[in-house]
Amino acid sequence: MFAKAPSHSTALGPGCAGPPLANPQQLSSAQASAHERGSHQPSCGAAPFAVDASMLRSTGSQPHKHTQSPYVTGSSVLAITYAGGVMLASDTLASYGSTKRYKSVQRLVKVNDSTVLGAGGEISDLQFILNMLDDLKTEDYCADDGQSLSSQELYSYLSRVMYNRRNKMDPLWNSLIIAGLEGGKPFLGSVNMIGVAFSDDHLATGFGNHLARPLFRKRHRPDMSEEEATALIREALEVCYYRDKQSINKFQIAKVTASEGVSISEPFALPTKWEYKAFVDPTRNAVGVW
């Protein structure tokens, strides 16, 4: 579930960092060529950060506009650690505004043999991110030195990308959770569209932040067994499904463990019960409502 820009952060609100800041002073041609000669393109990860001055310049009388709201969005992603692994879950819906438009979109993606990415928010931006991660993976493959990016490195990479895009006033409209094993230990990290990044034992994005994390805080232990973890995740999914209108009853669970690597389940539905009194009579406990 994603709010519109102004409510997300004041930094993106009107007047805070308008066109003047986004327009770097144009280099004179002599300066520009000197700049070109003096600087070298770093060998890794620079492309998403590079500011293309021509993109910032306005065309015609109107200023250049960037994404100002998302179109096709995914909702919450939940993630917890447990003994020997991490577990992620999300539904498979991509909404067009408030229309449940695409119902079989996989939002948990295997990035490499030890990392899964879960994403909410703009689905096209997610696809862009996945293309970048695919290029990174190919880079690792081509280096052919047996080394590949760890979960923590991918987390760091993505947080740099998200933050730099936000500073270019052209954010990737996503909340991401990166999950995997770091030196055999479970690792979870989250990054959002303005580049706020943190790591914890349990995480959730979107509405899950309000609905699932209180449950996690109460019930989560890092030494949970896989069964316990699955039970907790399923319960959290159920709660999210009941209370988040932008969700559907079609979920996937992803796991990363040392023994089995990455596995992502087939989509499944949870048993639901709508006969709760509060559901049947939603205004029962709400004073002053009719």
Query: Which residues contact another protein by CB under 8 A?
Result: 40, 42-46, 131, 134-135, 138, 141-147, 149-150, 152-153, 156-157, 160
Rounded to the nearest whole angstrom, what is the least distance from the CB of residue 115 to another protein in the complex?
Answer: 13
Instruction: In whole angstroms, give the CA distance from residue 11 to residue 18.
Output: 10
Which is nearer to another protein, 9 or 156 (by Cβ)? 156
Token representation of residue 112: 């490499």
CB 195 within 8 A of CB 159: yes
The answer to whether 67 is a known catalytic residue is yes
Shortest Å, Cβ 141 to another protein: 6
Which of residues 153 and 235 has its CB atom nearest to another protein in the complex?
A: 153
Residue 161: CB minimum distance to another protein, A: 9
* Beta carbon of residue 112, minimum distance to another protein (angstroms, whole number): 13
Q: Are 83 and 223 a contacting pair, CB within 8 Å?
A: yes
**Per the residue annotation, which of 67, 92, 115, 272 is the catalytic one?**
67
DSSP 35-78: HHHH----SSS-TTT---HHHHS-BTTBPP----S-SEEE--EE
Query: What are the tokens at 165?
Result: 């895009």
Nearer to another protein by C-beta: 89 or 136?
136
* Closer to another protein by Cβ: residue 75 or 159: 159
Q: Do 114 and 163 contact (CB within 8 A), yes or no?
A: no
- d(C-alpha 162, C-alpha 157), whole Å: 9
Backbone angles phi, psi at 94, to 5 degrees: -125, 110
The CB density around residue 224, as the number of other CB atoms within 10 Å, is: 20
Q: How would you class 236 by CB atoms within 10 Å of its CB: exposed for 0-12, middle for 13-18, buried for 19 or more?
A: buried
Residue with smaller CB distance to another protein, 141 or 198: 141
Give the shortest CB-149-to-another protein separation in angstroms. 7
Dig out the tokens for 91 from the structure: 């539904």
Which are the catalytic amino acids? 67
